[in-house]
């Protein structure tokens, strides 16, 4: 039975966790404070789900969550990193705390967990012994939009970390990312604004959760791809400028 460590299970991470559980995986899911998705998964899948509360802004929490997941699940085959604040930080009001608030759980935690989980993955059998999948953002390396500097700089570092770790952890651990476009409306964005974002995609529809789940499964099976950042965004990146 395969085992995954998944950070950030509030929404998209919940659907991915559920799908992996339906496919027979065991999952260790990391949340910061909102436990409801973990309870829902446990109701449906029982002790194949382990929930861990952790503030991934703290470097040392990376080691703790890896050790707990390995001890409870008996090892780990995949690390999926979705944890991510998404707060507007207009430049004139930007403070160090807001940079840390985004950078640490998004980029630093990927390294902190990644370096701890890698030696455990090396204990797995086969040529491919483990896989990482990070969740980035379509706009990061193309056209970042205004007022989200702390978020985009953190996601940019995450995209770089995918390439860095792909090289460091080869040949036995594969490291890839999905750079998502508009998928689920952030709670603090009004419906009409969200619709505007969707209308800017050539496909005029949000990214479907089913596609996110299918692409994640693909990246958990692929044997010949590493260091790749796949854009899944209803074509948003070819549509041109953001505001
Ligand atoms: N939704 C979209 O349309 C969209 C678009 C582009 C990219 N993405 C990316 O896709 C991923 C999932 O998106 P989503 O919309 O499902 O995210 P979400 O619902 O906002 O969930 C974010 C998760 O990050 C966790 N988190 C935040 N700070 C943390 C910290 N310091 N320590 C530990 N966990 C922390 C939260 O934990 P709690 O729930 O416990 O607070 C939550 O589970 C994210 O990486 C996001 O950037 C999403």
What is the CA(164)–ligand 1 centre distance, in A?
23
Rounded (10°) angle between helices 149-169 and 109-121: 20
Cα–Cα separations (whole angstroms), residue 29 to 10, 45, 82, 209: 10, 13, 11, 18
Topology of the domain covering 3-238: Rossmann fold (3.40.50)
pTM above 0.75, yes or no: yes
What is the CA(157)–ligand 1 centre distance, in A?
16
- How much is the pLDDT for 243? 60
Per-residue pLDDT band for 241 (boundaries 50, 70, 90) equals: confident
Cis before 171? omega within 30: yes
What is the CA(94)–ligand 1 centre distance, in A?
21
**pLDDT > 90: what percent of the chain?**
97
Which among 95, 92, 106, 90 has a CA at the least distance from the CA of 153? 106
Q: Which residues line ligand 1 (CB under 6 A)?
A: 8-13, 31-34, 54-57, 82-86, 105, 135, 137, 180, 182-184
Which among 34, 36, 41 has a CA at the least distance from the CA of 19? 41
Q: What residue owns the CA closest to ligand 1's atom 10?
A: 135
pLDDT in tens, 74-124: 999 999 999 999 999 999 999 999 999 999 999 999 999 999 999 999 999
In the chain, domain spans: 3-238
- Rounded CA gap, 141 and 221, in Å? 26
Q: In which element (H, E) is residue 134 found? A: strand 130-137
């Amino acid at each position: 039975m395969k085992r995954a460590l998944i950070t950030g299970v509030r929404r998209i991470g919940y659907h991915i966790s559920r799908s992996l559980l339906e496919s027979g995986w065991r999952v260790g899911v990391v949340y910061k404070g909102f436990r409801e998705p973990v309870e829902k998964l446990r109701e449906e899948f029982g002790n194949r789900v382990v929930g861990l509360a952790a503030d991934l802004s703290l470097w040392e929490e990376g080691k703790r969550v890896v050790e707990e997941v390995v001890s409870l699940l008996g090892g780990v085959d995949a690390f999926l990193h979705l944890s991510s604040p998404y707060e507007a930080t207009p430049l004139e009001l930007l403070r160090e705390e807001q940079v840390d608030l985004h950078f640490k759980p998004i980029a630093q935690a990927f390294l902190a967990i990644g370096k701890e989980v890698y030696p455990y993955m090396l204990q797995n059998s086969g040529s491919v012994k483990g896989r990482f999948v990070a969740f980035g953002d379509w706009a990061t390396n193309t056209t970042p939009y205004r007022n989200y500097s702390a978020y985009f700089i953190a996601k940019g570092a995450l995209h770089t970390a995918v390439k860095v770790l792909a090289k460091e952890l080869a040949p036995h651990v594969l490291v890839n990312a999905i750079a998502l476009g508009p998928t689920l409306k952030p709670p603090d964005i009004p419906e009409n604004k969200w619709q505007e974002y969707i209308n800017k995609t050539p496909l005029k529809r949000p990214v479907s959760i089913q596609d996110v789940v299918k692409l994640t499964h693909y990246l958990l099976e692929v044997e010949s791809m590493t260091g790749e950042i796949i854009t899944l965004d209803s074509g948003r990146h070819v549509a041109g400028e953001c505001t």
